[in-house]
C-alpha cells in the first residue's frame, strides 16, 4: 500500500467522520444534560433534507447549511417539548420523531426535484502539498468550522456556568431542582443545541459531501453518533475518537475492495456497532454515564 | 426521605414519582372522558395534517384517501392483504407489550425479526422431515433466534449494566449484517446459482410448497393466513396471562415500580431478562411468519419496517394485547392501502407520516392529561403533603 492509498483512506476517513463529529458534539452535550436522545438520526436526516431544499431554492449551499441547522433545531425543539414538557418517555419520542422525519423527507423527496449544490473546497496553500497529511488541508470549508465547534462544545460543558448546570441536572436533578435550577428547561436547551449541531451534521453530509438528498441518506449515522458518545464514555475527547474510529471503519469498507483486499464487507459495516457494544460492556457502564441519564425529571419529593 | 419510608404504600408512591417509566404511560389512565376527547381531537389533527401535507404538495387528499380505502378494505382481496400485513405487526406488538410492561424497552425488533426469519429459513430449507413438522420447527427456530438476540441484550444489561434501549438498537444493526452475510455465502443460505455463469443473488432459495405456512380457509378470495390465526391465539393467551396470572402481575409490578417489586421478592434480572427474551421471541416468530407465510424467501429487505411498525402498534395500544388487535389491523390496512397510493401520484411514504402522527395522537393525550392533573394537584395541595396516589395513577397493581 503506497502513500497514495493511505492518503485516499485518510481523506475519506475525514470526510466520513465530519458529519458524525458535528452531531456527536450535540449529542454529547444533550447526554451530559441527561437526555438520551435517539432522535439524532431524525435531526440529521431533517437537516440534510432542509439544506438541500433551501440550497436548491436559493442557489447557495451556505444558506442551505444554515437551513439544515434550523430544521435540526425544530426537531430538537419538538423532542424537548414532548419529552421534557409533556413528559412522554424520551425513547418513545425519539422513535416517533425518527419515523416521522424519515417518512416526511422520503415523501417530499419523491415529489420534488432539487438542483445539486455543493459548498466550496477550501485548501490551504502550502500545507496541502505535504505528503499523506496534506489531505487534512484540502476539504470542504464547513469541515473547518469543527475547529470552532469542538472547543466551543468543550468550553460550554466543562467551563461555562450553563454547562455546570447541565451536568448537575444530569447527575442529580432533584438536588439541582432544590438549588433553583429549572431541570427540564435546561434539558430542553441542551436538546436545542443538539438539534442545531445534528442538523448541521446532516446538512454537511448533504451539501458538502454528497450534493443531493436521497431517501434515508443518513442510513443510521445518527445511531452511530449515539454509539460514539457511549464509546467515548461521555467524554468529548473519547466521543470524537469514537467518531474517527467509525469513520475509519467506513472508509476502510469503501477502500479495501479497490485495493484488492477481500475483507468481509458485512463485518466491516457491523464492526462499529460491535465495538460500541464491547466498549459499553468493558468500561462505559454505570460508573461513567450521567447518573440520571434517560430518566425523566418530575418535580416532587423523592 | 426516611419519614416517608414507613410502609410499602408510601414507598411505592415515592419511587413511582421518581421513576415514571415507560410502563406507566402504557396503562389506561382512568380520566376516561377527558383522554378520549383529547385523543379524538388529536387523531383529527393528525389526519388533517396529513391531508394538508398531501394538498400542499399538489396531490388530492380525497383521491389519496380513496386509494387507501381501495387498497385496504374495499374488497376481499384487499382484506386479505390487510390481514396478511396485520399478523406480523400484531406478533411484534405482543412481544413489545411484554417488555414494555416489565419496564424494559426493546427497540431492536427489526433485527430480531430478521434473524427469526433467517433461522426459520435455515430450518425450512435444510430439514428433511414431513412438511407440517418442518413448518412448526421453523417457526420455533425463528422465535428462538429472535429471543436469543434480545436475550443477549438482557445479559449485557444485567451483568454489565449496558443500557437496553441502546444495545437492542445496536444489535439490530448487527443482525441486518448477519442476515445480509448469510444470504451472500453459498454454504449458509444463499440460493444456488441458476446456471454456471449467472450471478448469484443475495437471497435464499424459495421455500418449497410443502414447508410453507398453510392458510386457513380460501373463502372466495379471502385468505386467512396461518400467521394471523397464530397471532390471534397468542393475543388471547397473553391477555389472560398478563391480566390474570402471577407472572403478569409481577411483570406489571416490576414495570410500574421496580423498588416495590424488589421488596416483594421479584428478581429484576430474571423477570426483566425473560420479558426481553420473550419480546425478541415474538419478533423472531413474526419474522418466521413473514417468511413462511408470504415472502417465502429470505431477503435482507424482508423485515420491511415490520419491526418498527409493530413497536408503534404496541405504543398506541398502550401495551394491552387485546387493544393491539384493532391497531394492528389499522396499520395493516395502511400498509396494504399504500400500494394503491402510487396510482394517485401521492408517494406511499405518506403512510409512514400518517402512522407516526397517529402514534403521537394516541400517546400524547393521556400523558398530557396526567401532567395537567398533577400540575393542578401540586397547586392545590400543601407542598409538604405528597400528591394523593389516586390522582397520579388511579389504576394500580392493587386492582
Global ipTM: 0.88
pLDDT score for B377 = 66
CB pairs under 8 A between A and B: 156
pLDDT at residue A114 is higher than 90:
no
How far is residue A35's CA from residue A45's CA, in Å, rounded to a whole number?
Answer: 20
Question: Is B166's CB within 8 Å of A89's CB?
Answer: no
User: Residue A13 domain-assigned?
Assistant: no
Give tens-digit pLDDT for B47-74: 999 999 888 888 788 888 888 888 888 8
CA distance A249 to chain B (A): 14
- Domain of A76, in residue numbers: 18-117+139-226
Is the CB of B319 inside 8 Å of chain A's CB atoms?
A: no
Whether residue A71 contacts residue A206, with contact meaning beta carbons closer than 8 Å, is answered with no
Give tens-digit pLDDT for B206-253: 888 888 887 776 666 777 888 999 999 999 999 999 999 999 999 999
User: Residue A254 domain-assigned?
Assistant: no
Q: Which residues of B touch A302 (CB under 8 A)?
A: 1, 14, 17-18
CA distance A87 to chain B (A): 7
User: Residue A189 domain-assigned?
Assistant: yes
Q: Which residues of B touch A111 (CB under 8 A)?
A: 57-59, 345, 347
CA distance B19 to chain A (A): 7
User: Residue A213 domain-assigned?
Assistant: yes
Name the domain count of chain A: 1
User: Residue A301 domain-assigned?
Assistant: no
User: Residue A56 domain-assigned?
Assistant: yes
Within 8 A by CB and 6+ apart from A26, the residues are: A40, A43, A153, A193, A194, A195, A196, A197, A198, A201
Using the 8-state DSSP alphabet, how is residue A127 labeled?
G
User: Residue A57 domain-assigned?
Assistant: yes
Q: Which residues of A touch B367 (CB under 8 A)?
A: 86-88
What angle in degrees, to the nearest 10, is found between the helix axes of A161-171 and A142-158? 70
Least confident of B122-126, B201-205, B233-237, B257-261: B201-205
Is the CB of B52 inside 8 Å of chain A's CB atoms?
A: no
Question: Is B352's CB within 8 Å of A99's CB?
Answer: yes
Give tens-digit pLDDT for B330-367: 999 999 988 888 788 888 889 999 999 999 998 888 88
CA distance A240 to chain B (A): 19
Among the partner-chain residues A96, A226, A280, the one whose CB lies closest to the CB of B359 is A96
User: Residue A290 domain-assigned?
Assistant: no
Q: Which residues of A touch B356 (CB under 8 A)?
A: 96-97, 99-100, 103
Within 8 A by CB and 6+ apart from B242, the residues are: B97, B98, B101, B248, B251, B252, B321
User: B91 or A266: whose pLDDT is higher?
Assistant: B91
How far is residue B171's CA from residue B144's CA, in Å, rounded to a whole number?
Answer: 16
Is the CB of B188 inside 8 Å of chain A's CB atoms?
A: no
Neighbours of A203 (CB within 10 A): 34
Question: Is B184's CB within 8 Å of A266's CB?
Answer: yes
Total-model pTM: 0.86
CA distance A285 to chain B (A): 5
pLDDT at residue A240 is higher than 70:
yes
3-class DSSP state of B159:
helix
Amino acid at each position: 500500500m503506497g502513500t497514495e492509498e493511505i492518503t485516499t483512506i485518510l481523506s475519506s476517513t475525514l470526510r466520513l467522520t465530519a458529519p458524525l463529529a458535528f452531531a456527536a458534539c450535540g449529542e454529547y452535550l444533550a447526554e451530559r444534560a441527561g437526555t438520551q436522545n435517539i432522535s439524532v438520526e431524525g435531526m440529521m436526516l431533517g437537516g440534510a433534507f432542509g439544506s438541500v431544499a433551501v440550497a436548491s431554492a436559493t442557489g447557495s449551499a451556505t444558506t442551505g447549511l444554515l437551513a439544515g441547522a434550523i430544521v435540526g433545531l425544530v426537531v430538537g425543539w419538538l423532542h424537548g417539548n414532548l419529552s421534557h414538557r409533556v413528559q412522554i418517555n424520551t425513547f418513545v419520542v425519539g422513535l416517533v420523531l425518527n419515523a416521522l422525519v424519515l417518512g416526511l423527507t422520503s415523501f417530499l423527496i419523491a415529489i420534488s426535484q432539487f438542483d445539486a449544490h455543493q459548498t466550496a473546497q477550501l485548501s490551504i496553500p502550502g500545507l496541502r502539498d505535504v505528503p499523506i497529511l496534506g489531505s487534512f488541508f484540502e476539504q470542504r470549508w464547513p469541515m473547518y468550522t469543527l475547529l470552532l465547534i469542538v472547543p466551543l462544545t468543550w468550553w460550554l460543558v466543562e467551563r461555562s456556568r450553563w454547562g455546570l448546570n447541565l451536568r448537575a441536572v444530569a447527575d442529580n436533578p432533584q438536588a439541582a431542582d432544590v438549588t433553583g435550577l429549572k431541570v427540564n428547561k435546561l434539558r430542553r436547551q441542551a436538546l436545542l443545541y443538539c438539534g442545531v449541531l445534528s442538523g448541521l451534521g446532516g446538512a454537511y453530509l448533504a451539501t458538502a459531501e454528497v450534493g443531493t438528498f436521497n431517501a434515508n441518506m443518513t442510513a443510521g449515522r445518527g445511531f452511530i453518533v449515539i454509539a460514539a458518545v457511549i464509546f467515548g464514555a461521555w467524554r468529548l475527547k473519547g466521543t470524537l475518537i469514537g467518531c474517527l474510529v467509525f469513520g475509519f471503519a467506513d472508509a476502510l469498507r469503501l477502500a479495501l475492495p479497490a485495493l484488492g483486499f477481500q475483507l468481509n464487507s458485512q463485518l466491516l459495516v457491523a464492526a462499529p456497532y460491535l465495538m460500541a457494544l464491547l466498549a459499553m460492556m468493558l468500561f462505559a457502564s454505570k460508573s461513567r454515564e450521567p447518573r440520571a441519564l434517560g430518566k425523566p425529571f418530575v418535580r416532587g419529593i423523592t | 426521605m426516611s419519614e416517608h419510608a414507613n410502609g410499602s404504600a408510601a414507598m411505592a408512591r415515592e419511587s413511582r414519582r421518581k421513576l415514571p417509566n415507560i410502563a406507566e404511560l402504557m396503562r389506561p389512565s382512568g380520566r376516561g372522558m377527558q383522554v378520549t376527547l383529547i385523543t379524538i381531537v388529536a387523531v383529527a389533527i393528525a389526519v388533517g395534517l396529513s391531508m394538508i401535507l398531501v394538498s400542499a404538495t399538489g396531490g388530492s387528499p380525497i383521491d389519496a384517501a380513496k386509494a387507501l380505502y381501495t387498497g385496504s378494505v374495499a374488497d376481499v382481496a384487499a382484506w386479505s392483504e390487510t390481514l396478511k400485513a396485520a399478523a406480523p405487526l400484531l406478533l411484534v406488538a405482543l412481544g413489545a407489550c411484554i417488555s414494555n410492561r416489565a419496564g424494559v424497552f426493546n427497540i431492536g425488533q427489526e433485527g430480531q425479526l430478521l434473524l427469526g426469519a433467517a433461522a426459520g429459513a435455515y430450518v425450512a430449507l435444510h430439514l428433511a422431515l414431513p412438511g407440517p413438522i418442518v413448518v412448526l420447527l421453523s417457526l420455533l427456530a425463528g422465535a428462538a433466534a429472535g429471543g436469543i438476540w434480545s436475550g443477549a441484550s438482557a445479559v449485557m444489561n444485567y451483568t454489565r449494566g449496558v443500557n437496553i434501549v441502546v444495545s437492542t438498537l445496536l444489535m439490530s444493526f448487527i443482525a441486518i449484517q448477519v442476515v445480509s452475510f448469510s444470504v451472500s455465502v453459498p454454504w449458509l443460505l444463499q440460493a444456488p446459482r441458476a446456471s454456471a455463469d449467472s450471478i448469484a443473488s443475495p437471497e435464499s432459495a424459495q421455500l418449497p410448497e410443502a414447508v410453507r405456512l398453510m392458510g386457513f380457509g380460501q373463502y372466495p378470495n379471502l385468505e386467512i393466513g396461518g400467521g394471523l390465526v397464530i397471532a390471534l391465539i397468542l393475543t388471547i393467551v397473553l391477555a389472560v396471562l398478563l391480566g390474570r396470572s402471577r407472572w403478569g402481575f409481577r411483570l406489571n409490578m416490576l414495570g410500574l415500580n421496580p423498588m416495590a417489586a424488589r421488596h416483594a421478592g421479584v428478581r429484576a434480572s430474571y423477570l426483566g431478562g425473560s420479558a426481553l427474551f420473550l419480546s425478541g421471541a415474538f419478533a423472531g416468530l413474526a419474522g418466521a411468519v413473514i417468511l413462511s407465510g408470504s415472502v417465502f424467501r429470505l431477503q435482507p429487505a424482508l423485515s420491511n419496517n415490520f419491526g418498527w411498525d409493530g413497536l408503534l402498534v404496541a405504543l398506541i395500544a398502550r401495551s394491552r394485547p387485546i387493544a393491539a388487535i384493532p391497531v394492528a389491523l389499522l396499520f395493516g390496512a395502511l400498509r396494504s392501502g399504500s400500494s394503491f397510493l402510487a396510482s394517485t401520484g401521492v408517494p406511499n411514504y405518506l403512510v409512514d407520516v400518517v402512522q407516526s402522527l397517529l402514534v403521537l395522537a394516541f400517546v400524547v393525550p393521556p400523558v398530557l392529561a396526567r401532567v395537567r392533573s398533577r400540575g393542578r394537584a401540586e397547586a392545590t395541595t400543601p407542598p409538604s403533603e405528597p400528591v394523593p396516589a389516586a390522582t397520579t395513577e388511579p389504576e394500580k397493581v392493587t386492582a
